[in-house]
A and B are shown apart, each in its own frame.
Chain A
Amino acid sequence: MTEATFFTAAFILYVLSALCYLAFQFSRKEGAAAAGLAAAFAGLVVHAVALVLRTFQSGHAPFTNMYESLSFLAWAVVLALIIVEWRFKVPKAGAYVMLIAIAVMALASSPLMPKEAAPLVPALQSYWLWLHVSVTLLGEAFFAVAFVTSIMYMRAKDPEKREKMDSVSYRCVSIGFPLFTLGGLVFGMVWAEKAWGTYWSWDPKEVWSLITWFVFALYLHTRIVMGWKGKRSAIIAILGFLAALFTFFGVNYLLSGLHSYA
């Protein structure tokens, strides 16, 4: 049993989960949503085995190239969904969040992503790799859930559902924001100071992390101080996630800088 086997098994379970959640969307049967959650959880466990195997096989943290980072991001998104489901009970968001996880998994397994575990370049040989990347991606996973619930808010007609989606978006941001601040910015600065000799170099990835942070800071200030809610909040949360997405992908493929590994 190799990492690839578990990865594929997790992928299948995620697809099953999405199908169950989709069935729930149409049938409104609680059982379907419960099955979706169970499949997502089973997928999460199997996927975790894949990540652990990868770690043992490569001898380093399982997020040092695009394939690994995407695989971990998908795992984090599913974890975030399960936490949100458990705390705030939004089964209607399940299908869309799982679709995001599936898309990320599919992208990871596409032939464009080199999968072989390359030995670590000197700059990445640090325990800060674990802390910086895992906490950042977990924060971004919550932004992904906020993105989904914000879009659902925009599309929903039922005022009760809108209220719920608005509140869940906010709760996701309030979990994601501290995680992103800690992992992306604070741990990033500490590591940069150790590896590059300067905590901030205005590298495009750093700048885009800061932009993402600013957008969510805007979300929180307009909401908490100025009382913005609903549509305007949802738009900012969507923009924030897109900024996070660009930080993750766009900077690597469109801009050049120090963060050339993943």
Chain B
Amino acid sequence: MKRIIRFFSSVKLAIVLIILLVVASIIGTLIPQGRDMAEYEARYGRMGAPLVRLQLTDVYRSVWFLSILGLFGLNIVACTLTRLGGKVRRAGHPRVESDPKELAGYKIKDKFRIGGGDKGGGKGGSGDAEKAKTLVAEALKAAHYKVRAAGNHLHGRRRIDGIFGSDIVHLGLLVIIAGGILTGLAGFKTDVALNPGETRDVPRGGFAVRLERFDTEMYTNGGVKDWKSTVTVVEGGRDVRTQVIEVNHPLVHKGFSLYQMAYGQNWEAATLELRIGRKAGGAGAAEAAASDAAAAKTVKAKVGEIVRLGDPEMTEILVRQFIPDFLLGENNQPESRSLNPNNPAAYVEVRRGGKKIAEGWVFAAYPEITRLRGEAAPEMTIDFLDLDAPQYSVLQAAKDPGVLLIWLGCLLVMAGLFLAFYRPTWEIRMVVGAAGAADGSAAAGAEAGKVEITAGGIAAKNRDRFEAEFARVMDELRSAK
């Protein structure tokens, strides 16, 4: 058991694990993640399949990556716990006594004599030592050190909270890892696509949303400025609240966040702009052109809708079918290659008095291949001028109970970093003794009544600033009489 704890609480393990995490992360950014097998085979050839099997194509969700992360978590727990007890002890009950020899080994140290002279000379050493002790304690207190004394030993310390900084950072990291696990296990995310006016249930949400309107705002240069979905939350058939959802401004309701994710145009509900005209006949060209212009009618029509041209002959047109991305498939059947209007085509019928007089496919992008059939076909032209479709909005509904832990963890990490870096613990240890008592130096007798101070300082961080402060305190004591 001890060996296991020792293994998990070693900083060397932490370093090995961090290096492994770094290497794995780099691999994950070099190999495209989460693609199709076919893509990997095309890209890496025979290496494709082994890469997928080793989960190098889904590194961050792979068993081995999560195992390293798990070990890393255990490592943090063990490191923190094994060191915490000692730290708490040191914080509450620091060792006050110091061996002057130990202090002599410090990097930041000093040794000098104070007091004595005419005032205390007659009374003997112990009174001087007491006086010196008070003096030293006062000086340390004035420099904001908490002073503890035992016999002729003094211990001053500033900002003890700093030593717990790293533990708080580690606790924060553990909370973040816990949050990540919770997100992975209990997080839920789904897309909700809505046409304006449409109401849909939010899966697992216990409420529904209705899209009141969807607006795309544009910049004058043609770029998109914003997507705004005005959404009403519906609970049990009742409207609860209405809010505008835009990018960076999700709607939060009952633990769910609704984000503006995507948008699209509902081409099935497209409105087409068609121009019905007469072909120039054999008569004088100019005259014909003039009459054509007069006779040509532009109409807007939806699929399945009968539209009157409003001419004396009571001509009507009907768009039978609309295909946004026209393609002749197998058996010469028209089909749509995609949902995007890359090659919009409409099957249009022209009727007069309940009788079909012309029909055929008209193409917006290729007017020249339009072929009409029917009795009126030779004298008729139909141009597919433009098309538009209502926009729909895609919202992402997400519920993630892990998020709160993530923010808590971040707060802890930042607080811990602040303590660790900006509240460094500084310690000054001092031994106050009659001159020469400690090291038995020959000078002892020469300056009877003087008290020798041996001092040493430790700073975990900000050593140069501590060194300056240490020197200042010592100078103050030296000059004190």
- Within B18-32, which residues are at the interface with A (CB < 8 Å)? 18-19, 21-22, 25-26, 28-30
B326 within 8 A of A: no
Question: How does the 8 Å CB contact mask read for A180-206 relative to B, with 1 for contact and 0 for none?
Answer: 011001100110011111111010100
A174 within 8 A of B: yes
A37 to B247, CA, bound (A): 44
Contact B11 A181 (CB under 8 A): no
**Which residues of chain A have C-beta atoms less than 8 A from B30's C-beta?**
255
- Within B350-400, which residues are at the interface with A (CB < 8 Å)? 396, 398, 400
Question: How does the 8 Å CB contact mask read for A191-235 relative to B, with 1 for contact and 0 for none?
Answer: 001111111101010011011001101100110111000000000
Contact B29 A204 (CB under 8 A): yes
**Which residues of chain B have C-beta atoms less than 8 A from A210's C-beta?**
25
| A123-B247, A221-B11 as given contacts; A199 in contact with B403, CB under 8 Å | yes
A59 to chain B, nearest CB (A): 11
Contact of A198 among B18, B21, B398 (CB under 8 A): B398
B259 within 8 A of A: yes
B313 within 8 A of A: no
Question: Main secondary structure on chain B at its contact with chain A?
Answer: helix
Contact A211 B22 (CB under 8 A): yes
Contact of A197 among B225, B227, B259 (CB under 8 A): B259
| A122-B247, A181-B413, A197-B261 as given contacts; A255 in contact with B29, CB under 8 Å | yes
B59 to chain A, nearest CB (A): 8
A198 to B461, CA, bound (A): 37
A210 to B22, CA, bound (A): 8
- Within A99-139, which residues are at the interface with B (CB < 8 Å)? 118-119, 121-123, 125-126, 128
A178 within 8 A of B: yes
Contact B247 A195 (CB under 8 A): yes
Contact B14 A207 (CB under 8 A): no
- Within A149-205, which residues are at the interface with B (CB < 8 Å)? 167, 174-175, 177-178, 181-182, 185-186, 189-190, 193-200, 202, 204
Contact B248 A125 (CB under 8 A): yes
A226 to B414, CA, bound (A): 23
| A119-B219, A119-B225 as given contacts; A178 in contact with B414, CB under 8 Å | yes
A189 to B179, CA, bound (A): 13
Contact B247 A178 (CB under 8 A): no
Please, which residue of chain B has its CB at the minimum distance from the CB of A257?
B29
Please, which residue of chain A has its CB at the minimum distance from the CB of B414?
A182
**Which residues of chain B have C-beta atoms less than 8 A from A186's C-beta?**
410, 413-414
B22 to chain A, nearest CB (A): 5
Number of A-B contacts (CB under 8 A): 105
| A122-B224, A122-B248 as given contacts; A217 in contact with B18, CB under 8 Å | yes
Contact of A215 among B22, B60, B223, B260 (CB under 8 A): B22
Please, which residue of chain A has its CB at the minimum distance from the CB of B83?
A225
| A181-B413, A194-B250 as given contacts; A211 in contact with B421, CB under 8 Å | no
**Which residues of chain B have C-beta atoms less than 8 A from A182's C-beta?**
414
| A174-B461, A197-B398 as given contacts; A123 in contact with B248, CB under 8 Å | yes
A226 to B11, CA, bound (A): 8
A217 to B25, CA, bound (A): 15
| A119-B219, A199-B406 as given contacts; A194 in contact with B248, CB under 8 Å | yes
B453 to chain A, nearest CB (A): 28
| A197-B189, A226-B11 as given contacts; A202 in contact with B60, CB under 8 Å | yes
B335 within 8 A of A: no
Question: How does the 8 Å CB contact mask read for B394-431 relative to A, with 1 for contact and 0 for none?
Answer: 00101010010011001001100110010000000000
- Within B447-470, which residues are at the interface with A (CB < 8 Å)? 460-461, 463-464
Contact of A177 among B22, B25, B403, B417 (CB under 8 A): B417
B221 within 8 A of A: yes
**Which residues of chain B have C-beta atoms less than 8 A from A221's C-beta?**
11, 14-15, 18
Please, which residue of chain A has its CB at the minimum distance from the CB of B223?
A119
B33 within 8 A of A: yes
| A125-B226, A194-B248, A197-B257 as given contacts; A167 in contact with B464, CB under 8 Å | yes
B159 to chain A, nearest CB (A): 15
**Which residues of chain B have C-beta atoms less than 8 A from A122's C-beta?**
224-227, 246-248, 260
**Which residues of chain B have C-beta atoms less than 8 A from A119's C-beta?**
219, 221, 223, 225
**Which residues of chain A have C-beta atoms less than 8 A from B461's C-beta?**
174
A252 to chain B, nearest CB (A): 12
Contact B33 A202 (CB under 8 A): yes
Contact A196 B259 (CB under 8 A): yes
A71 to B403, CA, bound (A): 34
**Which residues of chain A have C-beta atoms less than 8 A from B246's C-beta?**
122
**Which residues of chain A have C-beta atoms less than 8 A from B398's C-beta?**
197-198
B180 within 8 A of A: yes
B250 to chain A, nearest CB (A): 7
A119 to B219, CA, bound (A): 7
Contact B259 A178 (CB under 8 A): no
Contact B18 A214 (CB under 8 A): yes
**Which residues of chain A have C-beta atoms less than 8 A from B247's C-beta?**
122-123, 125, 195
Q: 28 A-B residue contacts at CB 8 Å?
A: A118-B223, A119-B219, A119-B221, A121-B224, A122-B224, A125-B247, A126-B248, A128-B248, A174-B461, A177-B421, A181-B417, A186-B410, A186-B414, A190-B410, A195-B259, A198-B189, A199-B403, A207-B25, A207-B60, A211-B22, A211-B25, A214-B21, A217-B18, A221-B14, A221-B15, A221-B18, A224-B460, A225-B11
Given A126-B248, A175-B421, 19 other A-B residues pairs in contact with their CB atoms under 8 A: A118-B223, A119-B223, A121-B224, A122-B225, A123-B247, A128-B248, A167-B464, A174-B461, A177-B417, A181-B413, A186-B413, A193-B403, A194-B248, A198-B398, A200-B180, A207-B29, A210-B25, A218-B19, A222-B15
